[in-house]
Amino acid sequence: MTLADDAPPLADLRRARRIVYDVAANWKIVTENYSECYHCPGVHPDLNRLTPTSATTSRAGGRGREAGWSW
């Protein structure tokens, strides 16, 4: 979500990649736990190797961080 007046239209966004995992857990817990992962490189190095934070990009000159859902 953004409050920027010049934000790109949602219709212009495209999925870059999709990975499906079978997880023996409640999907709501997985979603809630994995929505934020700024702490992952230091606290969860094994998880960070699976989905590195470097896989997201920042737009040069843009505001905020562009990324996709990780689940």
pLDDT per position as a tens digit, 5-64: 887 788 887 878 888 888 888 888 877 776 666 677 788 788 777 766 666 555 555 444
Q: How many independent structural domains does the chain possess?
A: 1
Domain of 34?
Answer: 26-57+67-71
- How far is it, in rounded angstroms, from Cα 1 to Cα 20? 24
Model pTM greater than 0.75? no
- How far is it, in rounded angstroms, from Cα 70 to Cα 31? 8
Is the residue at 16 inside a domain? Answer: no
Is the residue at 20 inside a domain? Answer: no
Is the residue at 14 inside a domain? Answer: no
